[in-house]
Amino acid sequence: MSDLYGEILLDHYRLPRNKGQLVGETLSVEGKNPLCGDELTLHLKLDGDRVSDISFEGNGCAISMASASMLTEDLKGRSLAEVQRRIEQFRSFIRDGKEPDGEPLDDISALAGVAQLPVRVKCATLAWTTMEQGLLQVKQS
């Protein structure tokens, strides 16, 4: 099974989904992981309280870029409340290996082994932490 997860992770790294600029973005948020050198920018298009479109740009290790790709697929179309809940579910999954009840993680499950590599947790969570910063900016505006 771990070979399958590795293939999914590498697929998202080699063929990232939603990578590039986003025309008409509502918000962009930058995130950095100084330990690994990962850098990314999330571009969001909001329609009311819903993420109607999302993309990312950046450079970094396979884990951080694959995680960003997975995030864009998972969060597109969700309400901001759903996004916050999903970030919390992801955090619990990546730190404790606990999958959320009732809502499959799909490709995100490929990051399961990261919890056993504490140095890599920051790589996997960079996009998700950056997204959470974006939610804070939306709430403050």
Q: Hey, what domains does the chain have and what are their CATH numbers?
A: 2-140 (3.90.1010.10)
User: Closest by alpha carbon to 73, among 17, 133, 115?
Assistant: 17
Compute the distance between CA of residue 19 and CA of residue 65 in angstroms, rounded to an integer.
9
pTM given for the model: 0.95
Are 123 and 63 spatial neighbours (Cβ–Cβ below 8 Å)? yes
- CA angle, residues 37, 129, 102, in degrees to nearest 5: 130
pLDDT at 98: 82
Per-residue pLDDT of 93-131, as tens digits, reads 998 888 888 889 999 999 998 888 888 999 999 999 999
